[in-house]
Amino acid sequence: MDVTTWHLEQTDPADLIPAKPPRMQVDVVRSEVPSPEFARFLYTAVGGDWHWTTRLPWTRRQWLAWLDRPGLETWVAWHRGTPAGYVQLESQPDGVVEITNFGLLPYAIGHGVGGHLLHAGASRAWDIHLRWPGREPTRRVWVHTCSLDGPAALSNYKARGFRLFKTEVKQEDVADTPPGPWPGA
């Protein structure tokens, strides 16, 4: 199947556009303890319906190696003590921050949480150097999304002030149906 990937960026903190308040109460909190179990839960709970499969074969050791690096942050939206979604940031060289993962658990979709969480995550990308001594101030925040992601993903990024800088179309082998949030069950 043809899969379109859109690459988007912000090059100034003033590019970031706030979202309307979500229609359900959420608190966005940084997950500071590298937990492979929690990270894998978020990855499958958010991405299971959208063909997120790249990390499914990772071992616990691979998850820990990914998470336990300076400059990698996971921010979780919580609703009444339950995860509603997450955004993961990776500080890269030269003041660049990539939003490597972003999305919501199914129950939180359609309540305005996505725009709120994306705004919170992008805000944290712009000040990530304050939490990681020795990092350069952020000069660029970027993300990519594809035609296999949720239907509101691209419009949400654009609504938060991200600008398209590259589009790719590639032929990929994709299962007829995504694995769901319970792969192997």
Please report, for the chain, the start and end positions of each structural domain, with discontinuous segments joined by +.
2-171
Task: Identify the CATH assignment for 2-171 out of 3.40.630.30, 3.90.1410.10, 3.30.390.50, 3.40.50.10800.
Answer: 3.40.630.30
24-76 pLDDT, tens digit per residue, is 999 999 999 999 999 999 999 999 998 888 999 999 999 999 999 999 999 99
Strands 2-10 vs 140-146: parallel, antiparallel or unpaired: antiparallel
Distance CA(101)–CA(87), nearest Å, equals: 6
List the beta bridge partners of residue 98: 90, 142
Yes or no: say if 85 and 46 are a contact pair by the CB < 8 Å rule: yes
What residues contact residue 132 under an 8 Å CB cut-off, 6+ apart? 70, 71, 91
73-96 pLDDT, tens digit per residue, is 999 999 999 999 999 999 999 999
Strands 82-92 vs 96-104: parallel, antiparallel or unpaired: antiparallel
The DSSP secondary-structure symbol of 148 reads: T
